[in-house]
Amino acid sequence: MEENKAQRNFDILDLFLLVATKKNKLILAFTVSLIISYLGILLFIDDQYEATSTIVSTVDETPGLLGSLSKSFDILPMKLGSAQSRVEMDKYNTLIYSRSSLESILSSYDLYQTYGCDSTNARDREKALAKIRKKIKIAETEDGAVQITFIDTEPKRVAAITNTIVELLNNRVINLRISKSRESRLFLEQRLVDLKADLQKSEDSLKLFQEKTGMLEMTSQIKEIMSLYSTLETNVISKQIQLGILEKTYDQVSPVVVNTRMELEEYQRKLDELNQKGQRGGLMLPLKSMPNISMDYLRLFRTVEISGTLLKFLTPLYEQAKIDEKKDYPILQVVDKAITPAKRSYPPRTFFSFGIALFVICSIILFYYINEKIRLITNPRLLQLGKLLYNPSRRTSNNDSNSN
């Protein structure tokens, strides 16, 4: 009994023995499957070709709007600089895969018919767009260049379409840039008109205020006024001291005392007059109203300064926008133009054929292995099932007897 069980055990060595026994059939099956799979790939799978174009973005070396912005404000504590931006690079993917770009390529090369789609049917157009999206690849290299690859079944056409994609992308980028510059120019132009009108109004208001009050330049004028007031007050104090000494020395009716008293009264009168009314037609302003006049002057002068600074800031931006609007030269420089590929990129027939042949051989070996395992089963029920599976004639006779 133990001997029968040992005979019925099937291990890995038996599998190798089985492969060695069936090696001729396996070699024949491998060869046949290899040939059939290679012919099938050759006949039923179209060859695919790839063409790649390498481009780089030629960002302006001259400062654009951002550079003009940073140079216009000399009082800024930090310079913004004119570092090259990669904003344009981020737009390439969107522009290439846009519906308008893809439909232009489909129509130019009649790819609707190539993909078996009807250009007049909305659903077929969507299918064609989905197919061509899968055939375009965009990758950025470590050096910052962009590689655009297209896949097609025709070697000459794939190179032409790749170069067309680059040209179309370049045109879209140029048009987008010119459009943005035109919008900026129109906005800045209207803003400059409004700003010049505001500046003229502020300058007129400041002029009227200067004519009315006599405050021409606050810093230096106030300095001179305060110096004059200080001199007058010093003279008044000096005369007061001198008069006190003379009154103790001479009589009240003494000419020296009278003259000194008259000088003191004149100094005091002039000081009070300047303090209350200032000097008519002169630069001396009344000290009493100096705070209010200074505050009003500062407000008007600050309005003029703000308008002037904004005008100084916006003028170079406006000039730069006019220049950018005329820039219709290519933004993208083609480093490597797409050429007709010499070899197909897909499918790898030999690799696929070997893979299919190996799969067939593994399937056959697995079938033999399962077959042997089932044949050596000791379970009575499974043995009965195996007899029915491997003895069809007996199964048929049993069915006939049961029917009778």
pLDDT tens readout for residues 277-325:
555 545 555 656 666 777 777 788 888 888 888 889 889 988 888 888 8
pLDDT confidence of residue 20: 83
Whole-structure pTM value: 0.59
Segments of the chain scoring below 50 in pLDDT: 1-8, 61-85, 281, 395-396, 404
pLDDT confidence of residue 80: 37
Long-range contacts: 110-118, Cβ < 8 Å, 24+? 114/153
The radius of gyration computed from the CA coordinates of the chain, to the nearest angstrom, equals: 50
Closest-CA residue to 59 (of 226, 175, 173, 209): 173
330: left (phi over 0), alpha (psi -120 to 50) or beta: beta
Give the domain ranges of the chain. Answer: 2-45+349-403, 49-196+325-336, 211-315
The DSSP annotation for 104-150 comes to: HHHHHTTHHHHTT--TTSHHHHHHHHHHHHHTEEEEE-TTS-EEEEE
pLDDT confidence of residue 131: 93
Q: Which helix (DSSP H) or strand (DSSP E) does residue 333 occupy? A: strand 332-336
* Residue 124 burial (C-beta neighbours within 10 Å; 0-12, 13-18, 19+): middle
* Tokens coding 386: 């195996």
Q: Are 63 and 71 in contact (CB under 8 A)?
A: yes
pLDDT confidence of residue 71: 47
pLDDT confidence of residue 112: 92
pLDDT confidence of residue 11: 64
CATH 3.30.70.1130 holds for 49-196+325-336: yes
Cite the DSSP H helix spans in 152-286.
Answer: 155-213, 218-249, 255-276
Backbone angles phi, psi at 180, to 5 degrees: -65, -40
